[in-house]
Amino acid sequence: MCRLFAMTSDEPFSPLVAAKALDVMREGHDGSGVGLLLSDLSGPFEDLKDAPVLSGIFTSKGLKKLDVYMMELGFTTKYKVTIKAPKPSPPGIPQRDVYLIRAYEYPDEWHSYTSERRANELLKVRLDLRAMGQAEQDMIVFSFWPDTIMIKEIGDPLTVVQHLGLDRKELMARVIMAQGRQNTNYAINLYACHPFFIQGIATMTNGENTAFVPIREYLSSRGFPGYTGYQSDSEVFAHILHYSAYKLGLPLEAYKHIITPLSDDEMEDHPNKVFLKQLRQTCRRLIIDGPNCVIGCLPNKALFMVQDRKKLRPGIVGGRPGCWVFSSETCGLDAVLPDRDKSMDFQPMHLDTAIVSSDRQEVHICRQTQSLPQALCA
Amino acid sequence: MQADTIITPSTLCVKDLPWQIAWDKDKCTLCGRCTAVCPMLALELAVYRKRVVQPPMGLEKPPENTFESFYGVRQKTTPDNACVGCGMCNLVCPNDAIMPMHTDEADKLRFHNNQGGVPRRRGGRRNDPAGILDRIKFTRISMLTDPALDAGRHKFELTTLLGRVLPPEENLKLQREQGWIPPVREIYPLIIGGMSFGALSPTMWEGLQMGVTYLNEQVGLPVVISTGEGGCPPRLLRSRFLKYVILQIASGYFGWDEIIHALPEMKVDPCAVEIKYGQGAKPGDGGLLMWHKVNKLIAAIRGVPQGVSLPSPPTHQTKYSIEEAVAKMTQSMYMAWGFRVPVYPKISATSTSLAVLNNLARNPIAAGLAIDGEDGGTGAAYNVSMDHMGHPIASNIRDCYLNLVKIGKQNELPLFAGGGIGKRGNLAANAAALIMLGASGVQTGKYVMQAAAGCLGSETDRCNICNIGRCPKGITSQDPRLYRRLDPEKVAQRLVDMFLSFDTELKKIVAPLGRSTSLPIGMSDALGIDDYRVAERLSINYVV
Ligand code: SF4
Ligand code: SF4
């Protein structure tokens, strides 16, 4: 099992907080990798909220390729953080040339694009870069999106964060998602590391999606270029959410109804029975299976947690107004917020979606048996 | 043999027959039950002559002969009366004195069962007991990375969809606009395949309908049954049980007059309408009900005269092209029930299945595609069609599924696989394999006859005389003396047993795969086979 930790806080905080929490939960991961997503950024990125930020790992050669490519497209650098890790790396962490976080100015003509077109073009750039880096492994690109930084690396989470010196003021953020990886595959591919990101939507999972292959086939056949990759069975969780939000225009409350729909019995008295039954049929190929705890983040910076149909994985949400933590285990939550009101901690069960919106005032619990927002089913 | 006996080319001896009767004189009580029960009239009373040599002790008297006669049973060797190995003689014999045995070499009867120039016709399946489905294994087992599920305690969602499922974008749009959304049924993935009223006896039909009703209303399994081509009894058409029935229409349109007339009086809609274009057992050949079985009742339901053979044409005569067949026929059937009933075609598996599929995919309302493989069963067909025509189901269903995946319609047009499922008794394993290859569900008829009614037929050519109306178990006969042997209540009970055990076995397969939230359609990563070429062909794992 992997371990998950996510926090949303009015006060910007450092990735080290997340790494320490993962370290407390170390019994649940083997230190084979860590993935970080930082959003609602502060520091220098605070003033660059609209500028797309590219995150990735590059060799010196890859960096040159990147510059040529981006220049041709008309992107200019606005700000960058380049992390060169000290040599030699501690055992278990590979030696890399550069971890790059670079905010760009859009090419001139992009300013006239609709937001949808811009989102699709950003996605295309990311996929192109990923493809360009594939052959020689000189570019690994995690995200290219405004107000978003991603770092993934092999090794023990705390060691990686300390070794790369990620505890720095440029990398303070109000939303951080982090996964400590338990390797269940033999070769570790950084593209298989959580969180997974697509156009402002990110998810990470502790689990195993046994319905992966049919879901992958379904998503791949939607004709959307972003539904690709799938080095990990968990990547589909992000894409299903993306599909539901962007393609179907459904709110987060509907996500759980897509991945783990209610049974006939449970639906019997539901006020939105007709809609839900149709949704279950039409989205049947997106039903997930197996044990999964999913933590995700939406473009509006809301964090959420859902569980699989049988609630086979641990997961807890706790905190106080202004600061909330989503964690695989209570000890991870305790490590960060020992002084919260523990009686208000919540462990989402098989029907729940726990949501903390960007105002960070409360944990909103949405049960599948409740009625859906009116607009949906009209 | 006497020197002047005439030997015709078709004069056979017992050794030439596929089934030989072993009869034990010492056990036989001459009760005559075997001769009475034999559907082939293969047994006759025989008087045997026996010479007994009686050498006296000593040398005074010379040895003597006496001639005795005794009575017994003799097996006829005329092709028309050749034993079919059904074993009914053995079943009724109070002393276990008689038993059919299979010949140890290829029989000679096969060269002579075309008397009068009529090739052999029979019922049953292709005479080949082997098949690929039994060799497919489920190799992805959940254990530690994800906990295995408990087939006995966890909840499982195993239903499937029959009907045209719209893509999510379109479905949501139509819901908002309150437009027409094609009807979709949530049904159990094991469908009782089309066996007509006529091919089956009234008791068998009644038993199956009762069993289906019990499964739906008492057990909670939404099992449905196809009528086959032969119409539907009038009272069933006007009952609330029609919702568990798929009405089949085929090229003979038998029984459709009755169905159309019943339309205004129907209390509920049928589950679906199946348009049969082909059948796996006899691809490219129409249905066949031989005259033996066309009695008064059957003639009335089908709207035909009594005592004539009813061959359906190989194709729907009014259709000259696939576009027309798909568009016109599907549409008119939809229209008949006010667009509330899913309509889908059934074809025999063929190397041209993909062309049919693509036409269906372009049609906006076709509710699915049922494909019947070469191992499908039938009540009557030419032996040559059964044994040599057709396409195996596994690769056909896989190709169709992967083609749907390619065009992104794998959830929209459900595929149903039939033909040889459970041929060797492994119903759930075969069904699960086909589902993971891409079928939304499976259809089976022969297994139902075997499990629910004790059909004796086999793929080593046992019995298989369903076509002549002399079914010794009363399953496929219209003769009251025969079908009274079958108690409908018992058939219903066995059908329920069969589905309950299937359900448990299916759970025993999907639970260790870590699947419970939905039927694992297309979960090919769970499948493996120990043949590299087959694995390649089906895009599944090669395991040794
Ligand atoms: S096995 Fe069947 S066909 Fe053969 S003799 Fe016995 S009853 Fe007749
Ligand atoms: S028992 Fe009846 S149904 Fe079965 S093969 Fe023999 S004749 Fe056909």
Q: Is B156 on the interface with A (CB under 8 A)?
A: no
Q: Which of B20, B21, B109, B485 to probe ligand 1 with, by most ligand atoms within 8 A of CB?
A: B21
Q: Is B181 on the interface with A (CB under 8 A)?
A: yes
Residues A200 and A292 in one domain: yes
Residues A289 and A371 in one domain: yes
Average pLDDT over residues A295-303: 96
Q: Using CA atoms, how far apart are residues A179 and A13, in angstroms rounded to an integer?
A: 17
Host domain of residue A336: 3-41+173-377
Please tell me the distance between residue B472's alpha carbon and the centre of ligand 2 in angstroms. 7
pLDDT tens digits for range B164-190 = 999 999 999 999 999 999 999 999 999
Q: Which two tokens stand for residue A70?
A: 């981006």
Residues A202 and A330 in one domain: yes
Residue A127 has pLDDT above 80, yes or no: yes
- B322's CB contacts (< 8 A; 6+ apart) are B355, B356, B359
Residues A97 and A201 in one domain: no
Which residue, of A96, A130, A146, is where some domain finishes?
A: A146
Beta strand spans in chain A (E): 3-13, 34-41, 52-58, 76-83, 98-105, 139-146, 148-153, 173-180, 196-198, 201-207, 292-297, 303-307, 316-320, 323-327, 352-356, 364-367
**Domain(s) of CATH 3.20.20.70: residues in chain B:** 133-542
Q: Which of B17, B19, B456, B470 to probe ligand 1 with, by most ligand atoms within 8 A of CB?
A: B19
ipTM of this predicted structure: 0.93
**pLDDT score, position A28:** 64
- A182's CB contacts (< 8 A; 6+ apart) are A1, A2, A3, A28, A29, A30, A32
pLDDT tens digits for range B92-117 = 999 999 999 999 999 999 999 999 99
Q: Using CA atoms, how far apart are residues A260 and A307, in angstroms rounded to an integer?
A: 9
Residues of B in contact with A210 (CB under 8 A): 140, 142, 146, 513-515, 523
Residues of B in contact with A282 (CB under 8 A): 165-168, 171-172, 411
Q: Which two tokens stand for residue B67?
A: 């001639």
Which residue in A222, A283, A377 is closest to B408 by CB distance? A222
Cα distances from B294 to residues B78, B305, B477, B540, in angstroms, run 26, 8, 10, 47
Which residue in B176, B517, B524 is closest to A260 by CB distance? B517
Residues A207 and A346 in one domain: yes
Q: Is B104 on the interface with A (CB under 8 A)?
A: no
CATH code for position A320? 3.60.20.10
Q: Which two tokens stand for residue B267?
A: 């209390």
Q: How many domains does chain A have?
A: 2
- B244's CB contacts (< 8 A; 6+ apart) are B209, B212, B213, B216, B223, B224, B225, B271
Q: Are A85 and A96 in contact (CB under 8 A)?
A: yes
Residues A94 and A208 in one domain: no
CA-nearest residue for atom 7, ligand 1, is B38
Amino acid at A175: V
Give SS3 for B300.
Answer: helix
Rg (CA), chain B: 26
Residue A163 belongs to a domain:
no
**pLDDT score, position B144:** 72
What CATH class does B133-542 carry? alpha beta
CA-nearest residue for atom 4, ligand 1, is B83
Residues A177 and A306 in one domain: yes
Residues A99 and A234 in one domain: no
* A interface test, pick of B161, B412, B437, B518 with most A CB neighbours within 10 Å: B518
Helix B393-407 and helix B353-362: axis angle, to 10°? 30
Residue A224 has pLDDT above 60, yes or no: yes
**pLDDT score, position A184:** 61
Atom of ligand 1 nearest to the CA of B21: 5
Q: Is B363 on the interface with A (CB under 8 A)?
A: no
Taking CA–CA distances from B522, the nearest residue in chain A reads A214
**Domain(s) of CATH 3.30.70.20: residues in chain B:** 14-102
CA-nearest residue for atom 3, ligand 1, is B83
How many separate helices (H) and strands (E) can be counted in chain A?
11, 16
Confidence grade of residue A378 (pLDDT, cut at 50, 70, 90): very low
CATH hierarchy code of domain B14-102: 3.30.70.20
**pLDDT score, position A185:** 57
Return averaged pLDDT per consecutive 10 residues of chain B, 544 residues in all: 79 96 95 96 95 89 91 95 97 96 95 94 94 95 79 92 97 94 98 94 96 97 95 94 96 90 96 94 86 89 89 79 79 93 95 93 94 95 94 97 96 96 97 98 97 96 95 96 97 98 97 94 97 97 97
What contacts 24+ positions apart, CB below 8 Å, involve B108-115?
B108/B12, B108/B16, B108/B17, B109/B12, B109/B16, B109/B17, B109/B18, B109/B79, B109/B82, B110/B18, B112/B9, B112/B10, B112/B12, B112/B79, B113/B79, B113/B82, B115/B10, B115/B79, B115/B80
pLDDT tens digits for range A316-341 = 999 999 999 999 999 999 999 999 99
**pLDDT score, position A40:** 95
Please tell me the distance between residue B460's alpha carbon and the centre of ligand 1 in angstroms. 15
pLDDT tens digits for range A8-23 = 999 999 999 999 999 9
Residue A151 belongs to a domain:
no
Q: Which two tokens stand for residue A362?
A: 């409360």
Please tell me the distance between residue B291's alpha carbon and the centre of ligand 1 in angstroms. 23
pLDDT tens digits for range A148-173 = 999 999 989 999 999 999 999 999 99
CATH code for position A81? 3.30.70
Residue A207 has pLDDT above 60, yes or no: yes
Please tell me the distance between residue B535's alpha carbon and the centre of ligand 1 in angstroms. 42
Residue A165 belongs to a domain:
no
